[in-house]
Amino acid sequence: MVRRQCIMVFCCILSLVCSAGLGFAGAHGGPAAKKVGILLVAFGSSEESAQVSFANIDKKVKATYPDIPVRWAYTSNIIREKLAGQGKELDSPEVALAKMSDEGFTDVAVQSLHTIGGAEFHDLMEIVSGFKMMGAFHSIIPGLPLLGTQDDMKKTVAALQAVIPKERKKDEAVVFMGHGTHHPANGFYAALNFQVQLEDPNIFIGTVEGYPDLELIKSLLKRNKIKKVYLMPFMSVAGDHAKNDMASEEEDSWKSTLTKAGYTCVPILKGTAEFSPFTDIWVSHLKGPLSHFK
């Protein structure tokens, strides 16, 4: 599956770059004029409310680097197809990069807006490697997702504490809902849960599709004798998972499950990218790649 995708990616890139008669050297063989660009790459979301998160990051990146053009791409095929059905054209990373090569960009920072370095992030790294191998740019350098280094973990712990509701009392829990994955990088969620609990034992990181799951979180809430729980997404956008799996009245939502177990639940529908302490971390990851282009 991955191999087939790769072949398709390369055919797509080659045809786009070749048909444009471009490549880093430029059509006349001379050195291309330096043109630095930023490509922001998110999983994507088809929810209207999620656009707040993307607009917030876009604003922050443009304010930090006012002279550098910013482009966007979504990694999710399903989301892009859904949006195309609504008349909204969003590029995949490979198409966005081919267009940037066509536009004469020479040095591109590809910033992942993912939360962990999971499957989507690693697919993106393969695309970046492909463009590097083809010599489509003088340089193309990726930026790490939110949880990249131990320093990011520390900053994320501080960000989690900064965004929880002011009215929340210390004996009330805050449960963040991460996505979770089959990818080995899923371990970041448990690591973050451990590190946030060193600061505040009533803040928890759970996941919808990985570990720690809701059953485990439930047992930890019981152990800590919690009565009230604030539910917040640990995803860049408050999209489908936050609305349906976390906050909805559906029988198996986190809110319904915990309410049934006797907890008072207060869901908060705000993605991490709506808050500066998180967006600052993503934006800080552009500094390294961009410093190479000077």
**Catalytic member of 114, 179, 241, 285:** 179
CA distance 253 to 114: 24
Q: H helices within the chain, ranges in order?
A: 2-19, 51-64, 77-85, 93-102, 119-134, 150-163, 187-199, 214-223, 240, 254-260, 276-284, 287-291
CA distance 99 to 94: 9
Our answer to whether residue 241 is catalytic in this structure is no
- Contacts of residue 196, defined as CB under 8 A and 6 or more positions apart, other chains included, come to 157, 160, 161, 203, 204, 205
CA distance 19 to 86: 29
CA distance 260 to 263: 7
**Considering only CA atoms, which of 188, 102, 116, 185 is closest in space to residue 146?**
116
Show which residues are catalytic.
Answer: 179
